[in-house]
Chains A and B, each alone.
Chain A
Amino acid sequence: MARDRNRWLSAYALIVYGLLFAPIVVLIIFSFNKARRGLVWQGFTFDWYPKLFANDELLDALTVTLEVALVAVIVSTVIGSLLGLGLARLRFRGRGATETLLLVPMITPEIVMGLSLLLFFLQLFDAHGSLTQLWIAHITFCVSYVAVVVRARAASMDPRLEEAARDLGASAWGAFLHVTLPLIAPAVLAGGLLAFSLSFDDYVVTTFNAGVGSSTLPLYIYGKIKFGVTPEINAISTIIVAVTAIAILIAWRAGAFETGPRQPVADEAAG
Chain B
Amino acid sequence: MGAAVQPAETPAASTPAAAAPGRVARVRSAAVVLPGVGWLVLFFVVPLALIFVVSLGSRDALDRITLANPSLDNYARAFDPVFIPTFLNSIKFASITTILSLAIGYPIAYWISRYGGRHKVLLIILVMLPFWTSYLIRTYSWIILLRDNGVVNALLQAFGLTSEPIILMNTDLSVILGMTYGFLPFAILPLFVSIDRLDPNLIAAGRDLYASGRQAFLHVTLPLTMPGIVAAGLLTFIPALGDFVTPDLLGGPGTTTIAKNIQELFLAGRDWPYGAALGFVLMIVTLTGTLVALRTLRREVVGGD
Contacts and interface: CB of A to CB of B under 8 A. Distances in A.
A59 B28 CA distance: 44
B14 to A, nearest CB: 7
Contact of A221 (B30, B136, B230): B136
Given A101-B45, A109-B283, A119-B54, A12 B107 contact: yes
A124 to B, nearest CB: 8
Given A156-B11, A158-B11, A13 B17 contact: no
Interface residues of B, number: 112
B86 to A, nearest CB: 13
B275 A194 contact: no
A84 B74 CA distance: 36
A120 B50 contact: yes
Contact of B189 (A27, A123, A194, A263): A194
A252 B126 CA distance: 12
Contacts of A21: 130
Interface in A248-263: 248, 252, 257-263
B32 A233 contact: no
B144 A201 contact: no
Contact of A257 (B122, B129, B142, B266): B122
Nearest to A27: B141
Interface string A174-196: 00000000000011011101101
> For chain A, what secondary structure do more than half of its interface residues adopt (helix, strand, loop), or is it mixed?
helix
Contacts of B45: 101
Contacts of A108: 48, 242, 279, 283
A214 B39 CA distance: 22
Contacts of B196: 186, 263
A30 B239 CA distance: 29
A203 B173 CA distance: 25
Contacts of B44: 101, 104-105, 113, 140
Interface string A138-158: 011001110111011101111
B210 interface: no
A83 B287 CA distance: 20
Interface in A105-120: 105-113, 115-117, 119-120
Nearest to A105: B44
Given A120-B50, A190-B192, A267-B200, A105 B40 contact: yes
Interface in B194-221: 194, 196-197, 199-202, 213
23 contacts: A17-B127, A20-B130, A20-B181, A26-B144, A39-B147, A89-B18, A103-B290, A104-B44, A109-B279, A111-B262, A120-B50, A139-B43, A149-B190, A152-B228, A153-B193, A153-B194, A159-B15, A193-B128, A193-B189, A201-B131, A229-B136, A236-B134, A237-B137
The 4 closest A-B pairs by CB, nearest first: A83-B36, A23-B141, A152-B231, A257-B121
Interface of A: 1-2, 5-6, 9-10, 12-13, 16-17, 19-24, 26-27, 30, 39, 78-80, 82-83, 85-92, 98, 100-113, 115-117, 119-120, 123, 136-137, 139-140, 143-145, 147-149, 151-153, 155-160, 162-163, 172, 186-187, 189-191, 193-194, 196-197, 200-201, 203-204, 217-218, 221-222, 225, 229, 233-234, 236-238, 240-241, 244-245, 248, 252, 257-263, 266-267, 270-271
